[in-house]
Amino acid sequence: MSSITYLEAIRLAQQRALKEDPRVFIYGQDIGVFGGAFKATKNLAKEFPGRVLDAPISEDAMVGLAIGAAIEGMRPIVEMQFADFSTCGFNQIVNQAATLHYRTGTPCPIVVRLPSGGTPGSGPFHSQSMEAIYAHYPGLVVMTPATVEDAYTMMLEAVALEDPVIFCEHKFLYYHLKAEKLPKFPGEELPFGKARITRPGRDATVVAYSAMVHEALAAAEELTQDGYDIEVVDLRTVRPIDTDTILASVARTGRLLVVGEAWPWGGVAAEVVARVATEGFGLLDAPPQRLNAKETPVPYHPALWGTHRPTASSVANSLRQLLEL
C-alpha cells in the first residue's frame, strides 16, 4: 500500500487547489517542467499548462508579482527555493503584502511557501526557520504544519484565506513523515488557527511546532520510562497562536516547556512563554522554560547541526529539569 509523504501532501494540496480554483497559480524557481528543487510541484506544470511558472532568480519581484496578481483577484502561491532566500523578498512580504489590506482595504491573498528548517549538511543558508521574523508583522498568517495531514489541509486553508500566508514547510519532514491517507477537507479535524493536543499528558506541557513536535513526542515517550506523562501541544499556526489551548493545557499540567528550532531571541518560544506568563501566571507550578537552537548560524557538519538544534534527547533533558523545579 502506498503511503503519502509530507512533501507529497503539499504537492497534492497544490494540485487540488489548482484544480478547484481557477484563480490559483504557482510561481517559483524551477517549479515548472522540473517540478521544483524538492519536487513539490512535480507534474503540475504538465497537468495545468501555463499555471505553474518558472520564475527568474528574483525573490523580490516574485513576491511583488504575487501581490499584484492577488490585487486583481488571483490566488498566487509563491515557492521560495529555500526559506533562507525569502530574505531577498522580505521587503515585499512585510511592507507590501502585510500592509495592503490595512492601508487600502484590498486584501492580499498570497501564499509564500518556505521550505524551512535544518537537514544534515545544509549549512547556514539552507536550514533556516524564519517563522518568528514573519510572525512579528501584523497582517501575516504564519503556518507551521507538523504532520502530513496538516501539510495538506493547511495548504488548502492557506490558499483559501484572504490574508497573506507564510507557509513554513519543514524539509526534514518532507520524506521522513508518512501517512496512509489524507483528510477529505480542511477543518475536518481542527479549524484553522487551533492548536492540537498531539499527546495528552499530566505532568508537563511541551508546546512545539513543525519538526520539533516529533522531537517532543520522542522525548515524551522517553520520559514514560521515568514515570512521567507529558502532554505535547502542536501549535500548527504560530500566527495566530492558539493561546487558549496552551493555557488549558498548562492549567492541567502546571508546567511548560516551549521548543523551537529557530533562535531564541524573540522566537515562537519567547512569544508563547510571554503569553503564558502574562495570561496564565497562576496556572504555573514552576517557571516556564524554553529550548531553542544554539545562538549561531546553523552549522554545516552533521555533528554540529545535531547539537545546534533541539533534539529528543535535549528536550528530554529540559523536561527532566523542568519536572524537578
Partner 1 sequence: MTKPKSAKTKGSQEKSSTGATAGVLTAELARRAYRTMLEARLLEEKLAALYRSGKIVGGVFLGRGQEALSVSLGVHLRRGDIYAPLIRDQAGRLAFGDTILDTLRTYLGSSLGSMRGRDGNIHRGRPSEGYHAMISHLGAMVSTVCGSLVAKRFRGEKGTVGATCIGEGGTSTGSFHEGMNMAAVEKLPLVVVVANNQYSYSTPNDRQFACSDLLAKAAGYGVQGHRAVGNDLVDCLSVIGEAVAAARRGEGPQLVVADLLRLVGHGEHDDASYIPEALKKSPLGRDCLELAKQSLVEREWLSEEEAASWHKAVEKDVEETASKVLREPAPDPTEEDWNAFASLGRNH
Which positions lie near its own copies, rule CB under 8 A? 84, 87-88, 90-91, 94-95, 98-99, 102-103, 124-125, 132-133, 135-139, 239, 262-263, 265-271, 273-274, 276-279, 281-282, 284, 286-290, 295-297
Q: Is 308 a catalytic site residue?
A: no
Q: Which three cell numbers stand for residue 96?
A: 507590501
Task: Measure the CA–CA gap between 146 and 143, rounded to whole angstroms.
Answer: 10
Q: Which is nearer to partner 1, 128 or 253 (CB)?
A: 128
The four Cα atoms 13, 14, 18, 24 give a dihedral, to 10 degrees, of 120
Q: Which is nearer to its own copies, 95 or 224 (CB)?
A: 95
Query: What pairs with residue 78 in β-bridges?
Result: 27, 112
- Footprint of ligand TPP on 45-64 (CB under 6 A): 57, 59
Check binding of 161 to ligand TPP (CB under 6 A): no
CB 173 within 8 A of CB 6: yes
Residue span binding ligand TPP (CB under 6 A) among the ranges 15-23, 38-46, 80-88, 276-284: 80-88
In the complex, minimum distance from the CB of residue 125 to ligand TPP, in angstroms, rounded to a whole number: 8
E strand intervals along the chain = 4-5, 24-28, 52-54, 75-79, 111-116, 141-143, 165-170, 178-179, 196-199, 204-208, 230-234, 237-239, 256-259, 289-291
Contact map string, positions 295 to 324, toward partner 1, x by CB under 8 A: xxx-xxxxxx-xxx----------------
Q: Which is nearer to partner 1, 104 or 321 (CB)?
A: 104
Residue of minimal Cβ distance to ligand TPP:
85
Residue 165 binds which entry of partner 1, its own copies, ligand TPP, none, CB below 5-8 Å type-dependent:
none
Q: Which of 310, 234, 243, 304 is nearest to 271 (CA)?
A: 243
Q: Which is nearer to partner 1, 220 or 272 (CB)?
A: 272
Task: Measure the CA–CA gap between 242 and 141, rounded to whole angstroms.
Answer: 13
Check binding of 65 to partner 1 (CB under 8 A): yes
CA dist 316 to 99, 204, 238, 269, 277, Å? 41, 11, 23, 16, 22
Q: Which three cell numbers stand for residue 307?
A: 547539537
By the criterion CB under 6 A, which residues form the site for ligand TPP? Answer: 29, 57, 59, 81, 85, 88
